[in-house]
Chains A and B, each alone.
Chain A
Amino acid sequence: MVDKKEIEHLSDLIKIEIKDPQKYILQVEQILNYFERLDKVEITTEDLLRQELTHDDLREDKFVPYGENLIEKLKKTKENFVRAPKMV
């Protein structure tokens, strides 16, 4: 079910360069085969577990300033800028 192409496609989606896709093929396939059992469980309910919050539970939406220390330890190259690779 899982082949090299599938692993390469997934690694492209999660943006991880996987040097040795072969290593993951068997393990991922074995685990997905185990997950197959979910498909066989008979479930009559459509209910899903959820936690509901009312508006009263939410904190007041107010601006709380953070200090400079929040960005103190960032990998900054120039002044307060973080350098990112070019997008195109």
Chain B
Amino acid sequence: MTLAISISQYIQKLRDGEFSSEEFVAKTLERINKVEKNLHAFISINENAIEQAKQIDKKIKAKEKVGSCFGMPISIKDNICTKGMKTTCASKMLEDFVAPYDATVVSKLKLEDAIIIGKANLDEFAMGSTTEYSYFGPSRNPWNTDYVPGGSSGGSGVSVSALECIASLGSDTGGSVRSPASFCSVVGLKPTYGLISRYGLVSFANSIEQIGPLARTVEDVAFILNIIAGRDSHDNTTIESGAPDYTKEIDIGVSGKKIGIISEMVGEGVDKDVQSATKHAISTFEKLGAECIPISLDSAQHSVAAYYTLASAEASSNLARFDNLRYGFDFSVEGYEYNSYISKVRNNLGPEVTRRMLLGTFVLSAGYYGKYYQKAQKVRSLIKSQLVESFKKVDLLLAPTMPILPFKIGEKIDDPLKIYLLDINTIIANLSGIPAISVPFAMADGLPIGIQLFANSLQEKQLLQSAYALQKTTKLPEVPI
């Protein structure tokens, strides 16, 4: 039995009796046991996974109604609440937090008989682009374990790439699903803001972040999106989407489509291997019958500054709730007054979280609010309006997901601004709310390169169809671990 199969193959093989859910889950756990010491994709593993698979097998045998996931193992980023399992956000502040309820996305997956195989590693509170800021230690790239897997949903990217699950859910605030998708050679989608409920996602930057699926194929991402998308009374920012079937007509092709190549994201500062992969992707789309034209998006050059201003501001407010009193590590309140206790325990937040809280508080403070926060909000509007104008001319936009190849663990950790600048190609989707997808496209020096496509709000179907067309032209190596 191979674990390197897509969702549709899993369902087919299970129906054909080639294996049971229990056998597949057991083999997945074996795989996890074998590779985890090198990869560290997970913070915790579901100890009841086999038992849950047995229950699903029983339902299948008894010909009872079975959910569309048929017991397939899925990993969940550890900032998404899972009832009865730890949800640590990769922080010491929540190292013992067991969620009393399921996030809406988790409830929906469970309802379709998916098995939550484990909780995936991330940068602490999803703040980072490399997964090096996890309190529990970094995840490693399965293509070369000396290298970062991207982030902040690094554990999600690694677990899908290294066959430790079939699919994963991450969260994308500034590129946190697409970055590990690109660096680990898997598909990752950041959906339209409001398409997926954030209920049960531990808040970092509410006006920007979205949960998104990662999987090995575009069809698999579409399959998961079908399950988790939709309005939710627990999240009033969710929007009506008309519930299209994202898997239907996915092979329709790109003939006649107009694709805008974002000039600011393909030139200066982009690694030469990434540049040549991008050129190849453009010519591939042209061969498939699409028309590619350059599009200038000059506001994009301010996106990193605007994003880190806004995201830090929202983070500094959101993280004020963590006081170690209701959850957290063992630290007695005896002998402390309130402020000194909170200050003392919060000293255990990692350096990046502390940095964001300092920045967020600074940009919101009197005297600086107009210069930073308000200006960032206006830049955000400008980016949105330039994108709206662009989508009057083209159906999709294209850029490399990451401007550079994966790099060595520790290489950039002392230069936070350098790490922030890695998000330069992904952030516009978060600030404007439009959907974007990263598709594995090429390799250079044994390291993956992903190509990113953007579509207008709620145009996920078109986005997935184009991503599928691109994916079909690629022939990429198997993961070497």
Contacts and interface: CB of A to CB of B under 8 A. Distances in A.
Interface of A: 6-7, 10-11, 13-19, 23-24, 27-28, 30-32, 34-35, 37-39, 41, 43, 45-49, 51, 53, 57-59, 69-75, 82-88
Interface stretch (B13-21, B22-30, B251-259, B322-330): B322-330
Contacts of A15: 339, 342-343, 346
Contacts of A30: 417
B347 A38 contact: no
Nearest to B420: A31
Contacts of A37: 302, 305
Interface in B63-113: 96-98, 100-101
Contacts of B302: 37-38, 41
B338 A86 contact: yes
Interface footprint category on B: 35 or more
B358 A10 contact: yes
A59 B233 contact: yes
B347 A18 contact: yes
Contacts of B304: 34
B357 A73 contact: no
Contact of B381 (A47, A59, A87): A47
25 contacts: A10-B358, A10-B361, A13-B361, A14-B357, A15-B339, A15-B342, A17-B343, A27-B417, A30-B417, A31-B359, A32-B362, A34-B417, A35-B308, A35-B363, A41-B375, A49-B384, A49-B432, A49-B433, A53-B236, A59-B233, A73-B96, A73-B327, A75-B326, A82-B326, A84-B338
B354 A24 contact: yes
A73 B97 CA distance: 8
Given A31-B417, A41-B382, A73 B98 contact: yes
Contacts of B432: 49
Interface in B100-134: 100-101
A64 B397 CA distance: 44
A77 to B, nearest CB: 9
Given A17-B343, A24-B355, A69-B100, 7 more contacts: A7-B358, A14-B357, A15-B346, A27-B355, A45-B385, A49-B380, A73-B327
Given A14-B357, A43-B382, A48 B97 contact: no
A7 B304 CA distance: 23
B346 A16 contact: yes
Contact of B333 (A19, A35, A58, A85): A85
Given A16-B343, A59-B233, A87 B337 contact: yes
A16 B354 contact: yes
B375 A39 contact: yes
A86 B306 contact: no
Contacts of A41: 299, 302, 375, 378-379, 382
B377 A34 contact: no
Contacts of B358: 7, 10-11, 14, 24, 28
A74 B100 CA distance: 10
A26 to B, nearest CB: 10
Contacts of A87: 337-338
Interface in B360-377: 361-363, 365, 371-372, 375-377
B236 A16 contact: no
B260 to A, nearest CB: 21
Q: Would you list the 10 A-B pairs with minimal beta carbon distance, nearest first?
A: A17-B343, A85-B341, A85-B333, A16-B346, A38-B375, A59-B233, A73-B98, A85-B336, A14-B357, A17-B347
Nearest to B339: A15
Interface in B283-341: 299, 302, 304-306, 308-309, 316, 320, 325-328, 333, 336-341
**Best-buried of A43, A46, A85 by chain B (most CB within 10 Å):** A85
B322 to A, nearest CB: 10
A42 to B, nearest CB: 9
B305 A35 contact: yes
B321 to A, nearest CB: 12
Interface in B33-68: none
A38 B379 contact: yes
B344 interface: yes
A53 B240 CA distance: 12
